[in-house]
Chains A and B, each alone.
With several copies, the nearest count.
Chain A
C-alpha cells in the first residue's frame, strides 16, 4: 500500500501525514464523545457534559495550524478542543469521572480541562469567560517575543457577552496574536442564534478593527486553510482575526437534552448529519484524492476505537482523590 506510507507526499499543499492526522483526530473526538455519552447513560459520569459531535472539523482544522507551544482557551463544549490540541484521552476521561489521574486531579471536570503541556489554558464554563484570558496570553507572547499564537474558541452565544468586544478592541489596538474562533452551531442552548444576534455576525469583528471571515466549519480542509493563513498572519505580528466557523452539534445542548423537537426539528438534525458530516465527507475526499484508502481509514477507526476503550477503562479503574485534597491547590 503506497498511498498510506507516503506520508511526506504533498496533496493540495499539505503533507499526507497531516491530512491523515486530521482524520484521526476527528475520529478521536467523535469516539471520545460517544463514550462520554455512554458513560452518562450508564450513570458512571457525575454531572453533565456538552458533546462536540458534529463540530469536529472546527477544533481539528484550527489546531492543525497551531504549534504545540501555541495556546488555546476552550469552552463548556470543550473536549474537542482539548483533544485536537493534543490532550490524552485517558487523563481526560479520568477528569470527567472526577478521578485523581485526571488533568485537574478531578477538581475541574468536563468543563475545566486545562493542561500547560499542550498549551491549553483551560476550558471555561462562563460563556465568553475566556476571551480575556486568551487575549492576555497573546499579550504575553507579544511582550516576551515568543512567537506564540493564541486561539480563543467560543460558541456564537458568546457574542452576547460584552467582554468579547472589550478584548477584541484591545487586541486590535495592540496588534496581539490571537484568533477569535466563533463556532456558530446555530443555538445558544435552546434558543436559535437569530433571536439573539442582531446585525451581520462577521461585522462584529471589523467594528473593533479585527478582520473577520466566515467559513464552512464542516470541512476540515477549509477550516485548516483559513486557520493556517490567519495564524501565520498573527505570528508575523499583523494582529488578531475573527473566524466564524459554521457548524452544528448533533446531540443535545448537554447529554441530558434528549427531546429537542420543541426547539429544533428532527429534519434539520438529519440534514446536517447526512449531508454535511465532517468525517464522512472528508473520508470521501481522502479516498477520491488518494490521500488514503478505505482500509487505512478503517484501520484508523479501529485503532482509535481501541484506544478510547482502553482510556475509558483506565478512567473507570482510576481512584478518586481523597477528601483532604479538597483543601489543596487553592493557593499556589
Chain B
C-alpha cells in the first residue's frame, strides 16, 4: 500500500514511469514492439520514452509477434533485459510457442544454466467495443504454464511496483494491463519501490464475505462492496496481484474469517482463473465455508461488438453486488 502518496498518476503514467526508471537504472533494459517508438503505442503508454532512450533501446518492430517475442527470449538469455510489447492480449495467440515452449522452458531444460529475464507486457479487458479479436483476457493460459510468472495490477501504485519487480526478475514474466484502466488515477510515491510477487493485497477489509478480484475486476468488486455496505454486508476485497506465484494463504485465511467467498476475474469463467482460485479456497477453507465459492468470469462467448451484448458478457458492480447478496443470504 502507498506510504507517501504525494501525487496521483494515471495507470499509464505509472507504467511509463516504471519503464523509464528501470531503463535509467539498467542500460540493459530495452523495449520492442509495434509502434512503441514512433507512436508510443496506440494507447500512448510509452510516449516520450524514445525521446529519452533513443531508437537503440525503444525499437519499432514489424507486425511479427512470434518473431520479436522469440527475439526477446534470445536477447534475454544473452545479456539484455527486454520488455516485449504485445499490443492486445488477443495477439498472445501468436506468441504462445515462443512464450511457452521457449521462454518458459529454457531455464529448466538447460538444467538451470540459461536464464530468460524477459517481460512481456500486454493487455486484457473488454467493453471497449472492439469485438471478439481485441477484447480477450487470456491470462489463464500463461498462468497454467510452469516457468512463467504472471502479474496483473489493478492500481497505478501496483502497476509501477509490480512492473519494476517484473523487470528485475530473472524469469519470464507476463504482465497484463487492463486497457480500460489506463486513465485511472491513483497515488504513486516518487521514491523507488517494488512489490514482491506472490503477495496478495487486501484492497478493502471486511468481515462477511471475501471477494477475490483480479485486474479490471478489482474496481468492480470495490464498487460492489460499497453497495453491499449499504445493505449491511461487510465485504473484504483481495487482489492476488500475481496469479503465479499465487498467495494462497492470504486468500484462504480471509475466506476462513468471512466464511463466504467469491472470485471475480475478467477471463472466461471456464477452465480459467476462477476455477483455480475457487478450488484453492474451497480446499483450504473447506471447514469454514458456509456456502459454495461463487465464481464470476466473462460469459462463455466470443466478446460481441454491440454494446448491449458486450455489456452483459462481463461482471459489473451490479451483477457482483447481486451475486454477493445472494451468497450472503440477503436476497
Show the binding face of A for B, using Cβ within 8 Å.
46-48, 71, 73, 98-99, 102-112, 114-116, 121-122, 124-141, 143-144, 146, 150, 157-163, 166-167, 169-170, 173-174, 188-191, 195-197, 262-263, 320-323, 325-332
Q: Which positions 77-136 of chain B face chain A at CB distance < 8 Å?
A: 77-80, 82, 90-91, 94, 97-98, 101-102, 106-117, 128-134
Residues of A within 8 A of B302 (CB): 107, 330
Given known A-B contacts A107-B306, A140-B75, A129 and B115 have beta carbons under 8 A apart? no
Given known A-B contacts A104-B111, A191-B34, A109 and B63 have beta carbons under 8 A apart? no
Given known A-B contacts A104-B110, A136-B75, A136-B76, A191 and B304 have beta carbons under 8 A apart? no
Q: C-beta contact mask, B299-321 vs A, less than 8 Å → 1, else 0?
A: 11110111111111100000000
Question: How long is the Cα–Cα vector from A122 to B61 in the complex, in angstroms?
Answer: 25
Residues of A within 8 A of B64 (CB): 160-162, 166-167, 169-170
B33 vs chain A, min Cβ distance (A)? 11
Given known A-B contacts A158-B63, A170-B62, A103 and B111 have beta carbons under 8 A apart? yes
B292 at the binding interface (Cβ < 8 Å): no
Given known A-B contacts A116-B114, A125-B134, A127-B63, A135 and B304 have beta carbons under 8 A apart? no
Show the binding face of B for A, using Cβ within 8 Å.
28, 30, 34-35, 38-39, 42, 56, 59-64, 66-80, 82, 90-91, 94, 97-98, 101-102, 106-117, 128-134, 146-147, 149, 170-171, 299-302, 304-313
In the complex the two chains form, is A330's CB within 8 Å of B301's CB?
yes
Question: How long is the Cα–Cα vector from A130 to B90 in the complex, in angstroms?
Answer: 15
In the complex the two chains form, is A328's CB within 8 Å of B112's CB?
yes
Q: Find the B residue at minimum CB distance from A197.
A: B62
A277 vs chain B, min Cβ distance (A)? 27
Question: How long is the Cα–Cα vector from A144 to B74 in the complex, in angstroms?
Answer: 14
Question: How long is the Cα–Cα vector from A99 to B304 in the complex, in angstroms?
Answer: 12
A80 vs chain B, min Cβ distance (A)? 19
Question: How long is the Cα–Cα vector from A132 to B120 in the complex, in angstroms?
Answer: 15
Residues of A within 8 A of B116 (CB): 332
14 further A-B contacts with Cβ under 8 Å, apart from A114-B113, A167-B67, are A102-B111, A103-B110, A104-B110, A106-B111, A107-B109, A111-B134, A135-B70, A136-B78, A157-B63, A163-B67, A327-B301, A330-B107, A330-B146, A332-B117
In the complex the two chains form, is B110's CB within 8 Å of A112's CB?
yes
In the complex the two chains form, is B112's CB within 8 Å of A105's CB?
yes
Residues of A within 8 A of B112 (CB): 105, 328-329, 332
Instruction: List, sorted by A's number, 7 A–B pairs whose CB atoms are closer than 8 Å.
Output: A46-B307, A105-B111, A109-B129, A122-B106, A144-B28, A191-B39, A263-B39
Question: How long is the Cα–Cα vector from A87 to B32 in the complex, in angstroms?
Answer: 33
